[in-house]
Structure 1
Amino acid sequence: MPRSSNPDLAPALLLNDISCTFVSKENRAQRYTAVANTTLAIAPGEFVSVVGPTGCGKSTLLNVGAGLLQPSSGEVSVFGEPLDGINRRAGYMFQAEALMPWRSALENVIAGLQFRGMPDADARALGEQWLARVGLQGFGDRYPHQLSGGMRKRVALAQTLILDPDIILMDEPFSALDIQTRQLMENEVLDLWSARRKAVLFITHDLDEAIAMSDRVVVLSAGPATHPIGEFIIDLPRPRDVAEVRAHPRFVALHSQIWAVLRDEVLKGYQQQKRLA
C-alpha cells in the first residue's frame, strides 16, 4: 500500500507486508515464522479487532505496531511516517496485570504523566478526572490488592487513556474477567472511544466481543506463518450495547459468516497445541 503524502488520508497505523521470524536460543538453525507477509491498516478513528486461533501471532502483530518488536521484514508507519523505535502515538493496554502494587490507583493512573514531566498537582487533578470517567471516583487511594479484577482493569484503562494517545492497542484486556464485568468494561471502552474516536487495534479470541465492538474484524490463519484470511465490515448501528446487540439479526448473520472462516483455523490451532503438549 503506497504511503499517502496527506497525513489526514494516511492510516493511523499501517503494518505493511510484515513478517516475524524468531531464532531458537538453543539451536540457531531452528527458526519459527510467527507472522508472514501480513498487511493491516487501521484508519484514524477506526475500531479494528483481530481474531484468530490461540498462539497464532495476534500479540506479535500488536507488539510490532507498538514498536516493541522489530519485524524481520516489512515496514510500519504511523500517520504516514515510518515508525522508528517505540510508537509514541500509541497507548498499550496489556492482557496481564500491569499495575504497580506499591502505588495507589491514582498514582498508577498518573504514572505516565509524571514520567513525561507534568507537574504533580496537574497530574493528580487530571488523574482524579479520569478515575471518575471510568467509574472509580473516591477509589484513588486504594492499592491494586484492594480492588476487584474489574476495578483494576478500569485503572489500567484510565492509565492508558489519560495520555491521550492517537492509537490505542489492546491485547485481550478483558479475557480474565467474569462475563458481567467484561460486558460492563466493553461498554465502558465503547463509550470512551465514541467520545474521542481514536484508532483502536483490539486483539481478542472472543468472536462475539470482536463483532460487538468493532467497525471491522480481521481473521488470522492458524500459525506458523499466520496471515489475514478474511476481513469483515461490521455494519451494525452505533451506539451499541454489547449484550443487547448480540440479539440483532445482523449480528447473528455476521457471526455465522466470520465463524465459517475462523472455524477450520481454530481446529488447526487446537491440533497444533495438542502436538506440542
Structure 2
Amino acid sequence: MTPAIELKDVACTFISKDAPGQRYTAVEHVDLTVGAGEFVSVVGPTGCGKSTLLNVAAGLLAPSQGTAHIFGEPLRDVNTRAGYMFQTESLMPWRTASQNVMAGLEFRGVADAQAREQAEDWLRRVGLGGFGDRYPHQLSGGMRKRTSLAQTLVLDPDIILMDEPFSALDIQTRQLMENEVLDLWNSKKKAVLFITHDLDEAIAMSDRVVILSAGPAAHPIGEFTIDIPRPRDVAEVKMTPRFLELHAALWSVLREEVLKGYQQQLQKAA
C-alpha cells in the first residue's frame, strides 16, 4: 500500500538571523514512512529535530534536501490531508470550546448549524459533553487538551500529526488522554505521526517507534516494531514483560544520544 507519509533523504538546514554566514542542519538523511492506519512515534533527545520533521510532514516547512510525499503525491504546500495537534495551547481564548472546535469547519465553508452540531458531537466523544459553552480559561489543562483533540479530529483528517501534545499534563490526566487517543484512533484507524520525548508513551501507544540521534544533523538510528497486542491500556501495558523488554532494547539505543544531547545543552548554557 502507498504510505500516508513518506520522507526520503530529508534534510533541513537553517541560516542564523543573527549571523547570516552560520548554518545549522537540524536533520539530515532522514527516511521515514507512516502507513495508512499506522501509529508511528518518533523519539530522541531534546533539540534533535523531531518537531522539524513533523513540520515537513505538515507542509509548513520545505526540506532543504529530499522529498516528502503524502499518499504518493509530492507535498508542495500545506498538507490538507493532515490535522495538527500542537504542544502549546492552540485554542482561541475569545471563543468557547464549541466555537473553537467548529472554527476549522467554518473556514471550510460548512454551514453554522452543521458545524456546531459536529463540534458538539466531537466534544461528547472526548468527554466534554455539556462544556461547549465554556471558554478556555474556564477549563482545566486536561479539558483544554480534549478540546484541542476534538478541534483536530472534527475535520476528519486522513493523517494526524501530534507534537508532544500531553507533555504539560499531570501523569493521571496524561494517561487518560493517551487512552482516549488510542480508543479514537482504533475506531478510525488514521495514520498518526506522534512526536514525544517520553519512551514509555511511545512504546505504549505505537505500532512502530523511530529513534533519532542527537543533533545537529539528527538522523534515524533505530526502528522498533511494537508487537504488544491491542487494545492497550497505557498504564497496564507498562507492567507487562514484553513492554519491559522493548523498553530495555530502545533505551540501549537512545541512552547515549540523550547523554550527547544533555552535554550539548550544558555547553550552550555555559
TM-score, length-scaled by structure 1 = 0.97
* Mapping 1:135-214, distance limit 5 Å: 135-214=127-206
Residue 141 of structure 1, CA deviation: 0.1
Task: Give the CA RMSD over aligned residues.
Answer: 0.4
The amino acid that maps onto 1:11 is: P
Residue 29 of structure 1, CA deviation: 1.3
For the residues of structure 1 that align with 2:231 and 2:18, how far apart are their CA atoms?
51
Residue 196 of structure 1, CA deviation: 0.4
In structure 2, the residue matched to 1:115 is 107
SS of the aligned residue for 1:110 comes to: helix
Identity of aligned residues (%): 74
For the residues of structure 1 that align with 2:59 and 2:76, how far apart are their CA atoms?
7
SS of the aligned residue for 1:96 comes to: coil
Q: Deviations over 1:80-120 (max 9, x none)?
A: 00011100000000000010000000000010000000000
1:21 has 2:18 as partner = no
1:276 has 2:240 as partner = no
In structure 1, the residue matched to 2:87 is 95
In structure 1, the residue matched to 2:239 is 247
- Name which of 18, 41, 51 aligns with 2:43: 51
Residue 25 of structure 1, CA deviation: 1.3
1:259 has 2:251 as partner = yes
For the residues of structure 2 that align with 1:25 and 1:268, how far apart are their CA atoms?
26
In structure 2, the residue matched to 1:6 is none
The amino acid that maps onto 1:142 is: R
1:32 has 2:24 as partner = yes
TM-score, length-scaled by structure 2 = 0.99
Q: Deviations over 1:164-215 (max 9, x none)?
A: 0000000000000000000000000000000000000000000000000000
SS of the aligned residue for 2:229 comes to: coil
For the residues of structure 1 that align with 2:201 and 2:19, how far apart are their CA atoms?
39
For the residues of structure 1 that align with 2:175 and 2:266, how far apart are their CA atoms?
31
For the residues of structure 2 that align with 1:99 and 1:41, how far apart are their CA atoms?
30
Q: Which runs of at least 4 in structure 1 moved beyond 4 Å after TM superposition?
A: none
Residue 142 of structure 1, CA deviation: 0.1
The amino acid that maps onto 2:25 is: T
In structure 1, the residue matched to 2:58 is 66
For the residues of structure 2 that align with 1:242 and 1:141, how far apart are their CA atoms?
31
In structure 2, the residue matched to 1:5 is none
SS of the aligned residue for 1:232 comes to: strand
- Name which of 11, 34, 57 aligns with 1:42: 34
SS of the aligned residue for 1:38 comes to: strand
For the residues of structure 2 that align with 1:13 and 1:36, how far apart are their CA atoms?
17
For the residues of structure 1 that align with 2:18 and 2:86, how far apart are their CA atoms?
29
For the residues of structure 1 that align with 2:26 and 2:76, how far apart are their CA atoms?
22
SS of the aligned residue for 2:238 comes to: helix
Residue ranges of structure 2 left out of the alignment (5+ in a row): none
For the residues of structure 2 that align with 1:49 and 1:177, how far apart are their CA atoms?
19
SS of the aligned residue for 1:189 comes to: helix
Residue 127 of structure 1, CA deviation: 0.7
SS of the aligned residue for 2:160 comes to: strand
For the residues of structure 2 that align with 1:242 and 1:22, how far apart are their CA atoms?
37
SS of the aligned residue for 2:234 comes to: coil
For the residues of structure 1 that align with 2:215 and 2:19, how far apart are their CA atoms?
21
In structure 2, the residue matched to 1:220 is 212
For the residues of structure 1 that align with 2:245 and 2:139, how far apart are their CA atoms?
39
